[in-house]
Amino acid sequence: MRILLLLLFATSAFSAPVAEIREVTKKSYAAGIDTNAVVVFDVSWGRKWNCGGYENAELMSIAFDRFTGEVRTDDAKPDLVVVGPARLTRTPRFLNYGFLLPPGQYALSGFRIKVARSVSDVGYLTAKRSDLIKAGKAEGGTFTVAAGEIVYIGNFFLDCLNGPVLWRYYSEGKKGFEAQVAEYRAKYAFTELARFKYRLFKSTLFGTDYELPE
């Protein structure tokens, strides 16, 4: 299944639109947290070398739709899209993100990976909405948030075992989660510790299940 998806991705077209949902601010948090949620996660946009048969690969963008059962075309704007920084400013580390968004379930609806066999042989592997959401099923995976919550869904980067592909990693154990929360609160000092929840993005294709120990 995973290899078939990669073959589809290699022939798909995708252009990342401007996000409708913006990174959370002190003002938007104060005005909206009681009726909305904040989703937090990390992304590494750094180059990964010797990745799945390529000299290197880089994650370029990730997109999510609020999953309501509505059928959308591939060119419809996602509800949330995160695009990596300018390539000259990229570093091999995870960056923290937080977005205020309406409560509900969100489905992975797109991602794009730049791949290079050499300096002169460069291309893209792209997943469209129709690759990831089929017949009303969010095959790529989902996360869920409720009003008043700040939900940690994981850390996104690449996996290279069977070719470059998006992968959701995660902090392990209570101490790992506490360290992750401390990073988010350092960037978003207005967030309240008691609101943070550990609820990973769930996927059978782009991550493995993990529950925080009691």
pLDDT for 7 beyond 90: no
How many Cα atoms within 13 Å fall on the side-chain side of residue 190?
A: 13
Rounded CA-CA distance 120/19 in Å is: 31
Write the pLDDT tens digit of every residue in 153-202.
999 999 999 899 999 999 999 999 999 999 999 999 999 999 999 999 99
Q: Can you give the chain as a three-state secondary structure string?
A: CHHHHHHHHHCCCCCCCCCCCCECCHHHHHHHCCCCEEEEEEEECCCEEEECCEEEEEEEEEEEEECCCCCCCCCCCCCEEEECCCHHHCCCCEEEEEEEECCEEEEEEEEEEEEEEECCEEEEEEECHHHHEECCEECCCEEEECCCCEEEEEEEEEECECECEEEEECCCHHHHHHHHHHHHHHHCCCCCHHHEEECCCECCCCECCCCCCC
Residue 3 in this model has a pLDDT that exceeds 70: no
User: Contact 60/112 with Cβ under 8 angstroms?
Assistant: yes
pLDDT of 37 strictly over 90: yes
Give me 113's structure tokens. 């990976």
Q: Looking at residue 93, what is its pLDDT?
A: 87
Rounded Cα gap, residues 158 and 12, in angstroms: 19
105-157 tens-digit pLDDT: 999 999 999 999 998 899 999 999 999 999 889 999 999 999 999 999 999 99
Q: What's the whole-model pTM score? A: 0.89
Higher pLDDT, 206 or 22: 206
Per the CB < 8 A criterion, the answer to whether 100 and 37 are in contact is yes
Cβ–Cβ under 8 Å, residues 148 and 123: no
| pLDDT higher than 80, residue 55 | yes
Residue-level pLDDT at 20: 55
**In this predicted model, which residue has the larger pLDDT, 70 or 21?**
70
User: Region 32-41: what's the mean pLDDT?
Assistant: 97
Strands 150-159 and 37-44: parallel
Question: What phi and psi values does residue 179 have, to the nearest 5 degrees?
Answer: -65, -40
- Which of 158 and 84 is assigned the larger pLDDT? 158
Q: Which residue has the higher pLDDT, 10 or 35?
A: 35
Look at residue 51 and tell me whether its pLDDT is greater than 80: yes
Give buried/exposed letters for 150-168 (b at 16+ CB in 10 A, else e).
Answer: bbbbbbbbbbbeebbbbbb
pLDDT tens-digit map of 11-27: 343 434 334 578 999 99
What pLDDT is recorded for position 21?
74
